[in-house]
Amino acid sequence: MRNLITVSVLTLLLFGADVLICITAALGLTPWFYPVSAIVVLACNILFLPERDLSKKLNNAVFGANLLCSFLVLTVLCSVFVLLSFTVYSDILWGEFWLEISVSAALLLVVFWNGIIRVYLSASMIGAKWRIIGIVCGMLPVLNIIVLVKIIGLTRKEAAMEKKRSRLNRERAGQNICKTKYPLLLVHGVFFRDLEKFNYWGRIPEELEKNGAVIYYGEQQSALGVEESGAELAERIKEIVDTTGCGKVNIIAHSKGGLDSRYAISCLGTDKYTASLTTINTPHKGCVFAEWLLDNMPNSFQKSVANKYNAAVTLIGDSTPDFIKAVSDLKASECEKFNKAVPDMPDVYYQSVGSKINKGMRGAFPLNFSHLLAKHFDGPNDGLVALNSAKWGEKFTCLESKDADGISHADVIDLFRHDKPDLDIREFYVQLVSELKNKGY
State the average pLDDT for the chain. 85
Segment 114-123 shows an average pLDDT of 90
Task: Output the pLDDT for position 50.
Answer: 76
Residue range 124-137, pLDDT digits in tens: 888 777 898 999 98
Question: pLDDT band at residue 344, thresholds of 50, 70 and 90?
Answer: very high
Task: Output the pLDDT for position 417.
Answer: 83
Structural domain spans, the chain: 2-167, 176-438
Task: Tell whether the model's pLDDT for residue 214 goes beyond 90.
Answer: yes
Question: pLDDT band at residue 416, thresholds of 50, 70 and 90?
Answer: confident
Percent of the chain with pLDDT strictly greater than 70: 82
Within 8 A by CB and 6+ apart from 436, the residues are 180, 250, 276, 278
Task: Output the pLDDT for position 89.
Answer: 58
Task: Tell whether the model's pLDDT for residue 408 goes beyond 70.
Answer: yes
Task: Output the pLDDT for position 246.
Answer: 97
Task: Output the pLDDT for position 31.
Answer: 52
Residue range 61-91, pLDDT digits in tens: 888 888 888 888 878 877 777 677 666 655 5
Task: Tell whether the model's pLDDT for residue 341 goes beyond 90.
Answer: yes
- Name the least confident of 109-123, 173-187, 356-370: 356-370
Task: Tell whether the model's pLDDT for residue 390 goes beyond 60.
Answer: yes
Question: pLDDT band at residue 10, thresholds of 50, 70 and 90?
Answer: low
Segment 292-312 shows an average pLDDT of 88
Within 8 A by CB and 6+ apart from 273, the residues are 237, 238, 241, 247, 248, 249
C-alpha to C-alpha distance for 278 and 350, rounded to whole angstroms: 6
Segment 189-196 shows an average pLDDT of 88
Task: Tell whether the model's pLDDT for residue 219 goes beyond 80.
Answer: yes
Q: Which CATH architecture has domain 176-438?
A: 3-Layer(aba) Sandwich (3.40)
Segment 311-322 shows an average pLDDT of 87
> pTM surpassing 0.95?
no
Could you give the strand order of the β-sheet that contains 184-187, starting from the edge strand earlier in sequence?
Answer: 215-217, 184-187, 249-254, 274-280, 349-355, 395-399
Task: Tell whether the model's pLDDT for residue 21 goes beyond 90.
Answer: no
Higher per-residue pLDDT: 315 or 241: 241
